[in-house]
Amino acid sequence: MKIENEIVELYKEIYPVYAFMQGISECRGKIFIPSKTNRKKVIRKINLLLKQARDKKHLIILKSLKYKLELYKPYQFVNGLGSYLFNYEMKKTSVSEILPDLKEGVRILIKEDTKMPIGIRILCAMGIDNAIVGLKKMSKDGELIYLLKRYRAKLNINFELNRENILHNFKKNSLGRKKEYKKYLNGVMGVPEAPRKIEKLCLKWLRLTLSEFNLVADKIKKKYNLSDVGEIDKFLLEKSGKNLLKTADEWRKKLRLPIEKNLLEISKRHKVKYIITPDYLESKLPIAAASAMNYLSGDFENILFLTKKAKINDYFLVDILVHEEFGHNVNFSNSLDSNILDRLIFLPTMYPTAEIIATYLEYRFFELSKKLNLGRKFDLFYSYVVFKRFLIVYLRAIADIRINTGKNSFAEFLEWANNETGINKDSLFHDIFGKFFIPGYATAYPLGMHALENLRKKSNINEKEFNTKVWSLGLPPFSVFLDSAKKIGKEFKK
């Protein structure tokens, strides 16, 4: 069998729920139980394929899958339960089809060692709590809940999972990833840079953005008689609308025209369903997220999640829609004809590439927005929101490196970041915490955004043409994607 097909087979074996969600019907009712034996068996298969593979893309994907299995931690299984439930709900298929395997998976976890660093046990406990909320709604079967509770008791997390308790317990190295971080970053995520270099770059970008952010914040403070960034955020929070889906629908229509005119063509097959994030996915998707359904079969449709709890105001909403729909979802829609390996949604190497595109578009749309006459008040608050958003993007990457490698404890990092930017610790906590579930992921946003922006500037073709082609590349690994974007820019001689 061709290596490409072998990789698709691996995807179906390791991620059967995602494969089913994306239209591979033979994966219906299947779960990958990540027991030691099963992991070893798959790693052996990957090793054989690695010996035959020559293509850069194949090598990166195979290594990523191998390292992911080698570095496996139980929180990945329990944290996946919420999205398994959701995927089955979206496919209008009863979760009872996967319950026996899920129970078996948890039974194996209970038997295995629970001596894990406290940070990992906290992530695990959170995954369990969320899964239980979802399960109670979707199934009358109490046995899985009982097993999950038994496993949770073994984790020895006997405190409420709120900000204070988490910070108190997240000491240096409490994620236990000090030695493993580079393998996560370079291997699993396929981001080929050294942590130190990324940290240095992000610090530089942070300080550049900070001076622009402070200018805008000062203007707002003066005009609205507010004393600091915390007060501006509170002021903006009060502006969040009631009917999120309706407001989002109005904005997406308004945004589409200037984006299509100036930044990028949108495929005729582009279709999105906006939904409010179900409560059992809220901690995983605290603000918004993009996904897709049946990406590998005929009846493809995008999904865009908006989380009610996030209290999203108009300015923030615009930035979110640019990122999620016109970044991620349009990338999916425009890539329907790309190679199958570039459409295997939720393969670990596709996350970084997805974020390159979406974050870069936030930046490009922000530049465009200044010419769109959206009103002075809008421009002022929108630039505040966007600059703050980029500060968070840089801070998240720095946090990813410092906290995962044990350079800072979580509390130390928040103290530093608050001193540096004035953004309050509570909001920083919520923005950063979720990224601990996927180590290395947060670095892709700033690195990729700047890399793509540089390629666009050097490109021989105009921006709309460049972006349209880039959006149709699908989601190959980080460096393969940037290689292709570079080629696109060089396509036509000046």
**Residues that bind Zn ion in the complex, under the rule CB under 5 A:** 358
Say which residue the tokens 């709890």 belong to. 309
| Least Å from the CB of residue 158 to Zn ion | 35
Measured CA to CA, the distance from residue 255 to residue 327 in angstroms comes to 12
Of the pair 106, 263, the CB lying nearest Zn ion is at 263
Maximum Cα interatomic distance, the chain, rounded to a whole number of Å: 68
Closest of 337, 341, 335 to residue 49, by C-alpha: 341
Of the pair 17, 322, the CB lying nearest Zn ion is at 322
Going by DSSP bridges, is the β-strand pair 272-276/301-306 parallel, antiparallel, or unpaired?
A: parallel
| Least Å from the CB of residue 416 to Zn ion | 25
CB closest to Zn ion, residue no: 358
291 bridge partner residues? 303
Of the pair 19, 358, the CB lying nearest Zn ion is at 358
Measured CA to CA, the distance from residue 242 to residue 95 in angstroms comes to 32
Residue 471 CB coordination number (10 Å): 23
Of the pair 116, 358, the CB lying nearest Zn ion is at 358
| Least Å from the CB of residue 400 to Zn ion | 15
Measured CA to CA, the distance from residue 227 to residue 339 in angstroms comes to 53
Q: Are 75 and 127 in contact (CB under 8 A)?
A: yes
Strand arrangement of the beta sheet that strand 301-306 belongs to: 272-276, 301-306, 288-293
Of the pair 39, 328, the CB lying nearest Zn ion is at 328
Of the pair 53, 358, the CB lying nearest Zn ion is at 358
- HSE-up of 310 (CA within 13 Å, CB side)? 25
| Least Å from the CB of residue 462 to Zn ion | 26
Of the pair 78, 185, the CB lying nearest Zn ion is at 185
Of the pair 347, 358, the CB lying nearest Zn ion is at 358
Measured CA to CA, the distance from residue 356 to residue 110 in angstroms comes to 38
Residue 358: alpha-carbon gap to chain centroid: 11
> CA-CA-CA-CA torsion for 52, 57, 61, 67, nearest 10 degrees?
80
| Least Å from the CB of residue 421 to Zn ion | 21
| Least Å from the CB of residue 359 to Zn ion | 7
Q: How far is CA 212 from CA 28, 166, 226, 384, 428, in A?
A: 51, 33, 18, 9, 19
Going by DSSP bridges, is the β-strand pair 288-293/301-306 parallel, antiparallel, or unpaired?
A: antiparallel
| Least Å from the CB of residue 448 to Zn ion | 11
| Least Å from the CB of residue 356 to Zn ion | 10
Of the pair 10, 358, the CB lying nearest Zn ion is at 358
| Least Å from the CB of residue 475 to Zn ion | 12
Of the pair 358, 475, the CB lying nearest Zn ion is at 358
Of the pair 147, 358, the CB lying nearest Zn ion is at 358
DSSP H or E run through 65 = helix 56-70
- HSE-up of 324 (CA within 13 Å, CB side)? 26
| Least Å from the CB of residue 53 to Zn ion | 29
| Least Å from the CB of residue 69 to Zn ion | 25
E strands along 321-412, which residues?
A: none
Residue 115 CB coordination number (10 Å): 7
Measured CA to CA, the distance from residue 290 to residue 274 in angstroms comes to 9
Q: How far is CA 446 from CA 87, 230, 248, in A?
A: 30, 24, 26
Q: Which two tokens stand for residue 116?
A: 């894990």
| Least Å from the CB of residue 445 to Zn ion | 8
Of the pair 116, 395, the CB lying nearest Zn ion is at 395
| Least Å from the CB of residue 324 to Zn ion | 7
CA gyration radius, the chain: 22
Measured CA to CA, the distance from residue 417 to residue 398 in angstroms comes to 10
Of the pair 79, 353, the CB lying nearest Zn ion is at 353
Closest of 168, 79, 156, 49 to residue 113, by C-alpha: 156
